[in-house]
Structure 1
Amino acid sequence: MPLPEWVPIREDLRGYEPYGAPQLPDLISLNVNENPYAPSEAVADDIAAAVRAAALGLNRYPDREATELRERLAQYLGHDLTGDHVWAANGSNEVMLQILQAFGGPGRTAVSFAPTYSMYPEYARDTHTRWVAGRRADDFTVDPQAAVELIKAEQPDVVLLTSPNNPTGTALPLATVEAVLDVAPGVVVVDEAYAEFRRAGTPTALELLDTHPRLLVTRTMSKAFALAGGRVGYVAADPAVIDALRIVRLPYHLSAVTQAAATAALAHADELLAQVDALREARDELAAWLAGRGYDVAESDANFVLFGRFADRHAVWQGLVDRGVLIRETGPEGWLRVSVGTPEEMDAFYTALMEVDPR
């Protein structure tokens, strides 16, 4: 409901609604790009033991620098990174907000390329950062020349690139990232929330960190690590850039419980990531099935597929909901996005879509 006039909210926020995808109980949830495979009993037991140990010290504040967690994340990422190169927060959402707090703000500009993650302009709005959205090509790639021209014209303090991109699944060649880095006057952020799902041979921007000190690469444990409920995101960058983020972080922003759970999960990285290959295979099968039925399908390196085009996408979305399957009405007009689920969940989606949109 709209806020009543007597609520003295900032005028630039009046009329907005809280961000969030629909949460509808008792439906097959294929709308928020979660990992459909829960942690095993053994992983859950170790997380529970770590949380219990942390609980015995909850009368004390947590390590405000999350030192152990940052070291473990650096070890996971490799590329000769140390804990000083990594910062962690409550999901990559908080990391992104901290980046805009530190490097954006009044009189500053952030640039990205739409369609992309719908929270980016909200981070800019909340930090009073001017927002400029360039356009992706028809195949959802970023044209390097167009990107360079836009950055030269706007002189942004923050450039947000996404690889793989949400909601399209499109990965960026490192040459495109480098072309942006060569002309960007401020920081360049490559959001790699879905990096673990990229196809073999698709590069990571982590390869560029040692030669580009203004580059930040963000990741999350929500997707491939099946830890969406744990709320842990992180960023890798030059230690001086990490120190800049530490200036704007809230005191004790990452709870002892969160740090303990994430650190325990990282000890089981191999097991938690074991389903990634299966999800990649299921994604490719999903894309091929949709294309075989005549849909336009965006090439995806993530754990979801964007497909279309529909004259009335909401009617299709509602028809799927009526059949117990929840996907996401997002992206360009006429397109829908479906996350990769278990084989049983995908069979339910296939059946429901054929009933709603027979072709």
Structure 2
Amino acid sequence: MKTTSLPLHHSGGATKSPDQAKLLGRVLPAGPLGYGWIGLHYPVNPYPLAPHIQNAVIEAVRTQIAAINNYPDSDTSVLRTKLAGYVADHARIAVTHENIWVANGCNEVLRQIFRTFAGPGGTVLGLEPSYRYFPVIAEAAGTQWSSVPTRTFPQRDIDAALTAIGKCQPDVVVIASPNNPSGDSFSIDMFEEVLHRLRSGILVIDETYIEMSTKDSAVQLIHRYPEKVVLCRTLSKAFTFAGGRLGYMIAGPQIINALRATQLPYHVSSITQAAAAVIIDRADEILAKVPELLLECERMVAYLQREGFDIPHSDAHFFLMGKFKDAHAVWEAYADIGIVLGDVGLPHYLRVSAGLPHENDQFLEATSNLLDLGKIAL
């Protein structure tokens, strides 16, 4: 196993979401403080698929059911080609199916990367705070996880990260941009600085929320650094396909071939492939709601800042809200009236994701009421 003299922090934070059974068991108050169930804890696209898109998915799945006795396309050829077309159109950069690999959600993509390029005895390095399942996925891959603590909380500390990368030379560096839970992003110049410090490992840029962001993708880097850069993406967030479990990666052909050589056979079902293909074909229509969502997020942030909350800058459709004396107590106060926020393991902040306009209205109204009742302590 690699060793280093740099004192890195090994994350031991909670990885479980709030107890859903506990939520469902709550008795909500009647009257103005009972809001039903409003879920602003998952940073997904809250707009459901339009009925005609739902019907198109149903028809695609129906076709696959008729041939369900056959194995799926192990190469996921059609889906990879469609995803390459989508990426090329939106990034205006040449991308082909040879630059795409797909799996059952971004978590599986990450696990396969960690296993292939680090594996037992290797090291994956990340920045805090970030996606809480990075260390869990690394552990599942048999890989050592190390994270760089921040001195600029809740934003991440890039200077400390660059120092750690230069000294430790991890096998994989993983950076989410935009980041979950803080919503901050990094520039192309910063990623190139990471690559200059990283002599033999690879850089994984988790772009799970890139379609729900005000920032550009780093996809241009896969041509500049075809053997060192991987982008992870998903259909779970902006594309409203979280239940479909489809993630994909964009990289140079050598990296893609390494992943394909180690993948399990028939790892993505024919039903998932067919449904995801329909979603990609209608990408522009589905993503048309994202600007509305970003405007809703701006509206919420402006109101909360006027009320005295600390809202660190976010490039995405979610944001951190604080600084609370006891973040979990505030989470409980909202949950008691039927509003679920993201308790992401930070001592003084909760994560809020923009929902539908009427849900956001009720959240802001509830916030005003909870402040008046003294149930939110800053």
Percent of aligned pairs with the same amino acid: 38
Shift of 1:143: 4.5
Please point out which of 30, 40, 44 is paired with 2:40: 30
> Structure 1 17/349 Cα, relative in aligned 2: closer, same or farther at 3 Å?
closer
Answer whether contact 1:31 1:339 (CA < 8 A) is retained.
Answer: yes
CA–CA distance in 1 between the matches of 2:39 and 2:118?
35
Answer whether contact 1:141 1:172 (CA < 8 A) is retained.
Answer: no
- Structure 1 counterpart of 2:61, one-letter code: V
User: Normalized against structure 1, the TM-score is what?
Assistant: 0.91
Please point out which of 108, 117, 138 is paired with 2:131: 117
- Gap runs ≥5 in structure 1: 1-14
Question: What secondary structure is seen at the aligned counterpart in 2 of 1:296?
Answer: coil
Give the aligned partner of residue 49 of structure 2: 39
Please point out which of 77, 85, 104 is paired with 1:75: 85
User: 4+ runs of 1 displaced by more than 6 Å?
Assistant: 15-18
Answer whether contact 1:174 1:203 (CA < 8 A) is retained.
Answer: no
Give the aligned partner of residue 346 of structure 2: 332
CA–CA distance in 2 between the matches of 1:19 and 1:58?
35
CA–CA distance in 2 between the matches of 1:139 and 1:204?
24
User: Normalized against structure 2, the TM-score is what?
Assistant: 0.87
Please point out which of 260, 278, 285 is paired with 1:271: 285
Question: What secondary structure is seen at the aligned counterpart in 2 of 1:329?
Answer: coil
Question: What secondary structure is seen at the aligned counterpart in 2 of 1:206?
Answer: coil
Shift of 1:144: 4.2
**2:358 aligned with 1:344:** yes
Give the aligned partner of residue 138 of structure 1: 152
Please point out which of 27, 47, 58 is paired with 1:48: 58
Shift of 1:315: 1.2
CA–CA distance in 2 between the matches of 1:142 and 1:339?
20
**2:197 aligned with 1:187:** no
Answer whether contact 1:316 1:356 (CA < 8 A) is retained.
Answer: no
> Structure 1 349/198 Cα, relative in aligned 2: closer, same or farther at 3 Å?
same
CA–CA distance in 2 between the matches of 1:351 and 1:133?
38
> Structure 1 279/142 Cα, relative in aligned 2: closer, same or farther at 3 Å?
same
Give the aligned partner of residue 9 of structure 1: none
CA RMSD of aligned residues (A): 1.8
- Structure 1 counterpart of 2:59, one-letter code: A
Give the aligned partner of residue 236 of structure 1: 250
> Structure 1 144/335 Cα, relative in aligned 2: closer, same or farther at 3 Å?
closer
> Structure 1 21/174 Cα, relative in aligned 2: closer, same or farther at 3 Å?
farther
Shift of 1:57: 0.9
Give the aligned partner of residue 4 of structure 1: none
CA–CA distance in 2 between the matches of 1:339 and 1:162?
17
CA–CA distance in 2 between the matches of 1:344 and 1:38?
15
**2:206 aligned with 1:196:** no
Please point out which of 272, 277, 294 is paired with 1:258: 272
- Structure 1 counterpart of 2:65, one-letter code: A
Question: What secondary structure is seen at the aligned counterpart in 1 of 2:219?
Answer: helix
Question: What secondary structure is seen at the aligned counterpart in 1 of 2:299?
Answer: helix
Answer whether contact 1:21 1:32 (CA < 8 A) is retained.
Answer: no
Give the aligned partner of residue 65 of structure 1: 75
Give the aligned partner of residue 304 of structure 2: 290
Shift of 1:68: 0.5
Give the aligned partner of residue 32 of structure 2: none
CA–CA distance in 1 between the matches of 2:194 and 2:345?
24
Give the aligned partner of residue 317 of structure 1: 331
Answer whether contact 1:144 1:180 (CA < 8 A) is retained.
Answer: no
**2:232 aligned with 1:218:** yes
Shift of 1:356: 2.3
CA offsets, 1:155-183, max 9 Å, x none?
10000011000000001111111100112
Give the aligned partner of residue 3 of structure 1: none
Answer whether contact 1:116 1:331 (CA < 8 A) is retained.
Answer: no
Shift of 1:17: 8.9
Shift of 1:18: 7.6
Answer whether contact 1:296 1:308 (CA < 8 A) is retained.
Answer: yes
CA–CA distance in 2 between the matches of 1:221 and 1:50?
17
CA offsets, 1:296-315, max 9 Å, x none?
11211122111111111111
Question: What secondary structure is seen at the aligned counterpart in 2 of 1:205?
Answer: coil
Report which stretch shifted further, 69-78 or 16-25: 16-25
Answer whether contact 2:172 2:202 (CA < 8 A) is retained.
Answer: yes
Shift of 1:40: 0.5
Shift of 1:147: 2.2
Shift of 1:247: 2.6
Answer whether contact 2:129 2:155 (CA < 8 A) is retained.
Answer: no
CA–CA distance in 2 between the matches of 1:18 and 1:169?
18
Question: What secondary structure is seen at the aligned counterpart in 2 of 1:147?
Answer: helix
Question: What secondary structure is seen at the aligned counterpart in 1 of 2:147?
Answer: strand
Answer whether contact 1:140 1:170 (CA < 8 A) is retained.
Answer: no
CA–CA distance in 2 between the matches of 1:92 and 1:347?
32
- Gap runs ≥5 in structure 2: 1-11, 25-35
- Structure 1 counterpart of 2:123, one-letter code: T
Answer whether contact 2:14 2:345 (CA < 8 A) is retained.
Answer: no
Answer whether contact 1:232 1:262 (CA < 8 A) is retained.
Answer: yes
